[in-house]
Amino acid sequence: MNQATNTPKKRIFSGVQPTGNLTIGNYLGAIKNWTALQEDYDCLYCVVNQHAITVRQDPANLRKSTYETLALYLAAGLDPEKNTLFIQSHVSAHAELAWVLNCYTMFGELSRMTQFKDKSAKNADNINAGLFTYPVLMAADILLYQADLVPVGIDQKQHVELTRDIAVRFNSIYSDTFTIPEPYMPKTGTKIMSLQEPTKKMSKSDANENATVRILDDKDTIIRKFNLAFTDSDTVVRYGEDKPGVSNLMSIYSCFTGKSFEEITKDFEGKGYGDFKLAVGEACADALAPVQSRFKELMKDKAYLEAVAKNGAETASYLARKTLSKVYRKVGFVQF
């Protein structure tokens, strides 16, 4: 129950793929915002390792990244007593519901997904069926838990919209089965751009290491990467479409300090980009330092991480089975 309103808490679901070192895009666009929701919502956060294999992964690295991603959820401040934290492959209902939903999703809809187009261009030698039906698995993740809200960055909005379309279609054929979810996005931080090409999203898999800041980068690295960040030729710290590099740095600074764009412009009036970039680097490194030290402690305690994941999977499986059995009944599968 929500104590303030005395109504049942709304349900939240989200996840991150355990593919390599997470960036401040993942942190500011997703994980950091989740911590603010844990008191007022009933939240489930998943490490979506089944999504990860749509692109070829080294098995040992995938296992390591799975533990690391869970540790980052905890290090960022998600309390396992208040949130359900789990690993996708531990709850088989995700793959089971995805199969059913595949039969209610159109080829044309999936062909229009911009992430599929981007990823198939980047992985031209491995355009597998999983990469194509990836958004259906994502819809299953969300719909299994009857989520009301899905906190994501802008790049995932199209997938949440497709999830809504699939849910509406299924409900209209079989009567109300799924809650229709909505994307949930804060004002800033939903699209952190590359530091080297600020018209492109900051991405975990960018080949240019200077384009991304990783959550686990040390202070010197963070300051150096911001110092190298691409900016434009004038020297005014101002937000605007004509200044994508500076605007991106302002968004990052605003997320870490809570300052508005007006305040930032005022604070850096008459100062050059050098001072501003240093301030952004310091604010970022200082904000990430406590997350990094908690992360290091957690990674030493694998048994604890496993206990969190096991508990989370039990809670998630119970909720997921309820939805799956309802779906199976509606479509006409015999159940004993």
Q: Which residues contact 217 (CB under 8 A, 6 or more apart)?
A: 225, 288
Q: DSSP letters of 289-332? A: HHHHHHHHHHHT-HHHHHHHHHHHHHHHHHHHHHHHHHHHHHHT
279 is an interface residue for ligand TYM by CB under 6 A: no
Which residue, 144 or 223, has its beta carbon nearer to ligand TYM?
Answer: 144
Which residue, 72 or 268, has its beta carbon nearer to ligand TYM?
Answer: 72
**330 vs 313: CA distance, rounded Å:** 25
Catalytic, 204? Answer yes
**257 vs 209: CA distance, rounded Å:** 25
256 is an interface residue for ligand TYM by CB under 6 A: no
Which residue, 118 or 234, has its beta carbon nearer to ligand TYM?
Answer: 118
Minimum Å distance from CB 149 to ligand TYM? 10
Contact of 217 with 225, CB cutoff 8 Å: yes
Site for ligand TYM in 178-217 (CB under 6 A): 190-192, 201-202
Tokens found for residue 199: 């018209």
Selected binder of ligand TYM within 11, 12, 20, 30 (CB under 6 A): 30
Which residue, 9 or 191, has its beta carbon nearer to ligand TYM?
Answer: 191
93 is an interface residue for ligand TYM by CB under 6 A: no
CA angle 101, 203, 295 (to 5 degrees): 95
Site for ligand TYM in 124-153 (CB under 6 A): 138, 141-142, 150, 152-153
Catalytic, 201? Answer yes
Q: Which residues contact 222 (CB under 8 A, 6 or more apart)?
A: 213, 281, 284, 285, 288
Minimum Å distance from CB 269 to ligand TYM? 28
In the chain, beta strands by DSSP E: 10-16, 41-47, 83-87, 149-151, 182-184
**5 vs 3: CA distance, rounded Å:** 6
Catalytic, 119? Answer yes
Q: Which residue's C-beta sits nearest to ligand TYM?
A: 29
Catalytic residues: 119, 201, 204
- Which residues contribute to the site for ligand TYM (CB under 6 A)? 13-17, 25-26, 29-30, 48, 51, 138, 141-142, 150, 152-153, 155-156, 159, 190-192, 201-202
